[in-house]
Structure 1
Amino acid sequence: MTKTLLQPIDQLSLGLIAALSVVIGGLIWGEKACGNYCFIHTGPRVKQFSWNHKQVGSEDTSFIISFDRPMDQSSVEKNLVIEPPLPGKISWAGRRLAYTLKTPVPYGETYKIHLQGAKEHFKNEKTDQMLEPFSSEFTSRDRAFAYIGTQPNEQGQLILYNLTQNKKIVLTPPNLVVMNFKFFPQGDKILFSAADKSRGSFGIRELQLYTVETAVQGQDKSNLLPKMELVLDNKDYQNNQFDLASDGKTVVIQRVNRENPADFDLWKLTLGSKPERLNVSGGDFLITPDGQTVAVAQGQGIALIPLQTHSQTPEFLPKFGQVLNFSRDGKAAAMVNFNTDNAKLRYIRSLYYVNNQGIQKELLKVEGSIIDCQFSPNGTALYCLLTQLLNKDEYVEQPYFVKIDLESGQVLPLVSLPDYRDIQISLAPDGLGILFDQLITRSTPTPNDLLTSDSGEAIVGSRLWLLIPPNGKPVKGSKPELEVLPLVGFHPQWSP
């Protein structure tokens, strides 16, 4: 009889079968030997925590906790601890828990999250096991802001101040005078307009646009100036006011043709590309939060101009003369009616709440000015800087802050200021503080004056103030906190 030889593939197969048999036999023997103790480490566990050791900001509104098996939801909710507390709402989708914050996470903090004592969920509920204890931490961004310096050794320079680290960083070189700036969405860069200091007050006609890194996220820049980049020159056009879209990619600039001043339009600049004309003229403007539309003051109303050429036709709101601010979700805006159609109301200004459902609600009337209003992060309130007209003949105004509850319509006065000098305000991304400036001006500027106010006066100094409004809804007797900061400058803006 001829002996059959095994092929190599057959030998490999038999070897694998033998190895697997040994492993299976070992498992069966081990189970009999150790009994229930074999499953002492098979309890449920947290599979993923979306904010694990991350830095979060105001745009981060919720986190996710994923489990490796179905959980008893009530036991998880009962045992979830966040320190310091962050009020929020829990929802479930299978094995995933979503925790949605009621208000933005306060900045400049380290948060710890703990979960233990929670149980898994089975249909018979007799084999429920306890969750392996879970803990993690995350941080919020540093509390920081930028401003334009007015001290002799910082005049016109862009300066970042990190309140969390108590650290000041000069961002721009001394040969440039910064006129305006906007933070990028993550706070890692700033877009700003500036001119050469040697041009004095004539530099306002020679502005160029730059970007500069901020080091706000803890980068070590030592004594070197952060990296700068020119994004738009002034060779053929004079660059005036601008706005940066919330995506950090699109800029709208008001430009004037140097050869033909009657050529006065808005332009769109996608960073990294050449600017393109929008063929839109007008006054003050703002880009909507979705980055798709620009709201422009035109004549007796506000035009809503699509930034994409293939988009829908423009809308026009004839009732309003100025857009102050949009809510973060873009569904509402604060607008001003100047009452120009009624001579009896020539000193009266009306503040309106306007949303995308067609609601136009008058919030208040003032005999004076509505300087600025900014939505709280959750869109439930407005913080406004208003003025009261004290002397109609000389038009003397007294500024004051109010908080308006948009649900009840209640207006809560916060604090009055001694006088008005082109004050600019900025509400913190977590809603916990309002920055504003107090200019010191000279009424007769000279060609050598580098900085001028909106009213054309020379800026010779400025103080920065921090207003901390009462928490929660307006309550009678609650008082805001007001403190002057040890910094000299103007035009403060919080980092996102």
Structure 2
Amino acid sequence: MQTIDKIAVITIIVLSFTISILVWGTNACGTECLFHVKPQVTNFSWQNKAIGREDRAFLLYFNRPIDRDSIENNLVIEPPLEGKISWSGNKLAYTLDAPAPYGEKYRLFLEAGNQQFAGGEAAGEAIKPFFGQFKTRDRAFAYIGSEGNNQGRLILYNWTKQEKTVLTPDNLVVFDFEPYPQGDRILFSAVAKKQQQDISQLKLYSVTTGVNDNSSPAFNPEIQLVLDSKKYQNNKFDLSQDGKTIVVQRINQNNANDFGLWKITEDLVPQPLETEAVGDFLLTPDSQTLAVAQGEGIALLPLNPDAVPLDFLPQFGRVVTFSTDGMAAAMVNYNTENADLRYTKSLYYVNNQGVQKELLNLEGSIIDCQFNPTATHLYCLLTELKFSNNLTLGQADAEYREQPYLAEINLKTGKTIPLLALPEYHDSELSVAPDGLGVLFDQVLTTNTPVTEANPSDSSSTIIKSRLWLLLPPTNESEVHQVEQLPLIGFHPQWLP
């Protein structure tokens, strides 16, 4: 036999032997058993991530069919996060009951559990222990300073790190702002200090916050011009929940008849929206639709100009707020269609299942409302219309004034609980924490007329004094709400998402 023939025969014998071993091993317990790969977690979707309110579920992937009961009984999260487990093949999904508290570090342990053999028997090999970790974003909020060198400047307070950072220079006066969805930037309107009485010069800017950015120990806010005021005056604006779209109400500086809404996308090129003359407006949480007051109703208009209008709600005159998931909204009916209810306003809960539930009817104003993170309650700033008689020069004069107060509305029971009166303070705003910690609100006393529902914040007024407060909801049925005054001087507080 030639040498080459011998090599060929030996090669055939070796390959046949190897194939036999592979076939036998695969039939016995699969190729993974052959190579001694233990059952284990192959991926954890939140590993080493900083999550926020929008992150409501994580996934665990396994390399083998797993005995589900043994995994569920041994899965541990520290600190605990209440939630529900569901399965899809070798993939476990854990859905949180509520957003995870901010400013925390979490660990996930799976130190026991078994492989699941075909036929449902749980006598397989023990799982390889798994350790995971993740954290939530820093708990932080921004506000506009109202004292000393910080007057009119945008200020960030990082609650987690107990740090205060002034984000804008002293040559700008900030009028309004909205955080971007990741909390890494803030969109704000401002004018130069020397032009602060001229709102026609309002420009839009963005500024970095440094929150959850560990790349550099020394943080310097970076400001970018988003929209100038050379040709158009910029008024109210709204930022989409995905952070990709800004809608601004603009008026031509030289032609008051040229006014309307403009859209700015990530390319920062403003484009006019083809809509009718509008009043108040809000972007919906899906970031694709605009809720606009038109005539005696609310129009739902797609941002895509080629799409047809989605709906018109003639019974409502204003959208106050949306729930974070976009499934519900709080709306106002001014009761113009009912002579018996004339001069009153009704607050309604409206959801995507067709429910329209009246929550309250009042003669005062509905200044602002926000849902809590799980959309089970509404927190509202309302006013009560007070009547008093004043004796002036011997004659009785009737006087009406609006008394602001903070209220909580249970959306399941419909019960409204007045929480706190705000005497003498006319301009107030609230912000509900994304993790449900509490409600930030301010008390602002200004020199001009009291707040009205149509214009809850008069930018031309002079602030006499302002305070920031935190309302903490009860932790169980036996406790009451707690109110704490914060050692910060400013107004317009907004939690970062």
Q: Which residue, 29, 46, 59 being the options, matches 2:41?
A: 46
Contact preservation (8 Å) 1:414, 1:479: no
Q: Which residue of 2 aligns with 1:411?
A: 416
Q: Deviations over 1:367-406 (max 9, x none)?
A: 3121111112222222222222222743322333232222
> What amino acid is the match of 1:458?
T
1:106 aligns with 2:101: yes
1:293 aligns with 2:289: yes
Q: Which runs of 5+ in 1 are unaligned?
A: 28-37, 445-451
Q: 1:168 to 1:42 in 2, by over 3 A?
A: same
1:158 aligns with 2:158: no
> What amino acid is the match of 1:423?
S
Aligned mates of 1:54, 1:150 — CA distance in 2? 36
Q: Which residue of 2 aligns with 1:35?
A: none
Contact preservation (8 Å) 2:274, 2:305: no
Aligned mates of 1:219, 1:488 — CA distance in 2? 28
Aligned mates of 2:387, 2:12 — CA distance in 1? 99
Q: Deviations over 1:270-314 (max 9, x none)?
A: 131421111332221100111111111223221222211111235
> What amino acid is the match of 2:143?
Y
1:434 aligns with 2:439: yes
Aligned pairs for 1:48-447 within 5 A: 48-122=43-117, 123=119, 125=121, 127-202=123-198, 204-219=199-214, 225-280=220-275, 281-313=277-309, 315-342=311-338, 344-391=340-387, 393-443=398-448
Contact preservation (8 Å) 1:173, 1:225: no
Aligned mates of 1:140, 1:277 — CA distance in 2? 38
Contact preservation (8 Å) 1:81, 1:113: yes
SS of aligned partner of 1:89 = strand
Report the alpha carbon displacement of residue 83 of structure 1 after superposing the two structures with TM.
1.3
Report the alpha carbon displacement of residue 333 of structure 1 after superposing the two structures with TM.
1.0
- Give the alignment's Cα RMSD to 1 decimal: 2.9
Contact preservation (8 Å) 2:349, 2:356: yes
Q: Deviations over 1:356-375 (max 9, x none)?
A: 23321111112312111111
> What amino acid is the match of 2:246?
V
Q: Which residue of 2 aligns with 1:487?
A: 488
Q: 1:4 to 1:132 in 2, by over 3 A?
A: closer
Aligned mates of 1:454, 1:16 — CA distance in 2? 90
Q: 1:206 to 1:17 in 2, by over 3 A?
A: farther
Q: Which residue, 467, 473, 481 being the options, matches 1:469?
A: 473
Q: Deviations over 1:22-70 (max 9, x none)?
A: 999999xxxxxxxxxx999754222211111211100001001111211
Q: Which residue of 2 aligns with 1:459?
A: 463
- Given the two structures, how large is their TM-score scaled by the length of structure 2? 0.87
Aligned length: 471
Seq. identity, %:
54
> What amino acid is the match of 2:448?
S
Aligned mates of 2:56, 2:272 — CA distance in 1? 36
Contact preservation (8 Å) 1:109, 1:139: yes
Contact preservation (8 Å) 2:379, 2:406: yes
Aligned mates of 1:126, 1:166 — CA distance in 2? 50
Aligned mates of 1:55, 1:14 — CA distance in 2? 60
Q: Which residue of 1 aligns with 2:479?
A: 478
Q: 1:120 to 1:412 in 2, by over 3 A?
A: farther
Contact preservation (8 Å) 1:161, 1:167: yes
SS of aligned partner of 2:150 = coil
Aligned mates of 1:455, 1:215 — CA distance in 2? 28
Contact preservation (8 Å) 1:231, 1:271: no
SS of aligned partner of 1:76 = helix
> What amino acid is the match of 2:422?
L
> What amino acid is the match of 1:409?
G
Q: Deviations over 1:214-245 (max 9, x none)?
A: 10113466666411111111111000000011
- Given the two structures, how large is their TM-score scaled by the length of structure 1? 0.87
Aligned mates of 1:108, 1:67 — CA distance in 2? 29
Q: Which residue of 1 aligns with 2:391?
A: none
SS of aligned partner of 1:487 = coil
